[in-house]
């Protein structure tokens, strides 16, 4: 059963995202580290995946904090092994929706502007499952307009106790965003504006985080309690 699910996922990548004309590109890990830290509020790790040969180009050591394993042992096959069986069975549907959106709904030039977001459950070394917020962003596009390299950021959101689902979102700060798309229905995109997603206070907090301030500093600046800031943080992460 697990082998069938993995085969379906790989078939989506092979049939929908076949790299015909690969490009040579060098990616600065320092810049990637900065990008990942902005996307993830909480314990996280990230990796760079190359669709040309289905290999990991880099795995962040933070994976040991989130899943209890070493970065040197992590591969896409390892990810499939750690994934909850139900999530693994549904993942090919999410990837089908992602490729449909990225290759059929937006111009190729916009591939770099979107991140794909959904939830998954991965097994920690101690045997418990962690709820992971999966975010992937295109880093390089091949000559034939397919995604060659992606940055994937996995944030541990178990502590938020968010309702788990198999929906998928396509989010951009510079283009229309689309949230909570059901994978087993026809595409019915509901356009959302990023500026309307967060409240004014949430935007203030996001701005302060981007400036490198911690939650105690933000609470002092906004004249509220750290508990209030923490509540806003949870709401931001849920959104």
Q: What's the pLDDT tens digit per position in 88-146? A: 999 999 999 999 999 999 999 999 999 999 999 999 999 999 999 999 999 999 999 99
CA 62 vs CA 23, 33, 69, 78, 121: distances in Å: 29, 11, 9, 16, 17
Calculate Rg over the CA atoms of the chain: 18
Higher-confidence residue: 192 or 28?
28
With residue 30 as reference, give the H or E element that holds it: helix 29-39
Query: What are the residue ranges spanned by the domains of the chain?
Result: 2-196, 198-239
- The tens digit of pLDDT for each residue in 147-202 reads 999 999 999 999 888 889 999 999 888 888 888 888 877 665 555 555 567 888 98
- CA 194, CA 33: separation in Å to the nearest integer? 24
- The tens digit of pLDDT for each residue in 37-78 reads 555 567 899 999 999 999 999 999 999 999 999 999 999 999
CATH class for domain 2-196? alpha beta
CB 37 within 8 A of CB 45: no
Which of these, 134, 58, 125, lies nearest to 94 by C-alpha position? Answer: 134
């Amino acid at each position: 059963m697990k082998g069938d699910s993995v085969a379906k996922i790989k078939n989506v990548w092979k049939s929908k995202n076949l790299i015909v004309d690969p490009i040579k590109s060098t990616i600065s890990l320092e810049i990637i580290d900065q990008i990942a830290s902005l996307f993830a509020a909480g314990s996280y790790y990230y990796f760079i995946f190359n669709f040309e040969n289905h290999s990991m180009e880099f795995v962040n050591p933070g994976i040991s904090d989130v899943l209890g394993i070493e970065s040197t042992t992590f591969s896409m096959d390892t990810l499939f092994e750690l994934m909850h069986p139900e999530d693994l069975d549904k993942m090919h549907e999410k990837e089908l929706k992602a490729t449909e959106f990225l290759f059929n709904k937006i111009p190729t030039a916009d591939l770099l502007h979107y991140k794909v977001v959904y939830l998954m459950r991965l097994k920690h070394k101690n045997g418990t499952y962690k709820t992971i917020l999966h975010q992937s962003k295109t880093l390089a596009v091949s000559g034939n307009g397919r995604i060659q390299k992606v940055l994937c950021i996995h944030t541990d959101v178990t502590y938020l106790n968010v309702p788990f689902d198999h929906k998928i979102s396509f989010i951009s700060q510079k283009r229309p965003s689309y949230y909570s798309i059901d994978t087993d229905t026809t595409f019915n995109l509901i356009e959302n504006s990023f500026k309307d997603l967060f409240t004014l206070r949430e935007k203030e907090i996001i701005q302060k985080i981007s400036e490198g301030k911690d939650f105690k500093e933000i609470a002092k600046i906004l004249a509220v309690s750290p508990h209030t800031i923490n509540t806003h943080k949870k709401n931001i992460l849920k959104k």
